[in-house]
Amino acid sequence: MSNPVIETLRADQALVVVRASRLDDPVALCHALAAGGIRTVELTYTTPGLTDLISQVSARAEDIVIGAGTVVNADQARAALAAGARFLVTPGLPPEAAEIVAEGHAAGAAVVLGALTPTEVLTATALGADAVKIFPARSVGPRYFSDLRGPFPEVALIPSGGVDEDNAAEFLRAGAVAVTAGTSVVQPADVDEARWEQITTNAARFRAALR
């Protein structure tokens, strides 16, 4: 049975990864994204204080599916899950990938392992990934997803890196179950200046481009 997080992604077809040097109000940011139609949000370990940020969102924004990204070891996985993360995302296949999957599944969370090549996709699925993030998607393009559908018709593939409103729909048509928005929706300057209405507008525009 598919994890509920993956079902939400299949329904919404979009999530957003937030990369910022600081994040003073993660709850306001997440509400701004949800107002624009994106309710699955990945905060990453490249932002200081990640576990506290996840805890704030988990406690005060029940409409948000919050997750942790750039997870590279089991300790990070456990800390993010304890803070309330509902999914984990790795940038590739780290040495502790099996442990990350085990920790995530023990907590009822979804695990999205990063990959690029067919061999890596096969490894990620063998390790029990609920979905596979193809990164960097910009380097391979939508046609690559069509090629991957041949040997991996049942794998939930999610492109990340260089996906924007101009190409997002192409990735979905090529077989991706959802697409990952980044700075095209959440600009670091907008976060720094608390321009929540702009972020809502960006999210709504991105969602509209998927149709």
Instruction: Please give the sequence-ordered ranges of beta strands (E in DSSP) within 8-141, or none if there are none.
Output: 14-18, 40-44, 65-69, 87-89, 110-115, 131-134
Q: Active-site residue among 7, 42, 154, 170?
A: 42
| Kind of pairing between the strands at 87-89 and 65-69 | parallel
- Is 160 in contact with 136 (CB distance < 8 Å)? yes
CA 186, 189, 194, 195 dihedral sign is negative
Rounded CA separation 54/41 (Å): 10
Does the annotation count 133 as an active-site position? yes
Q: Which residues pair with 17 in a beta bridge?
A: 42
Give the active site residue among 62, 96, 99, 133: 133
The residues, ordered by sequence, that sit 6+ positions from 106 with a Cβ below 8 Å of its Cβ are none
Residues 6+ apart with CB under 8 A from 153: none
Phi, psi of 7 (to 5 degrees): -65, -40
| Strands in the chain per DSSP E | 14-18, 40-44, 65-69, 87-89, 110-115, 131-134, 157-159, 179-181
Active-site residue, 42 included: yes
Active site residues: 42, 133
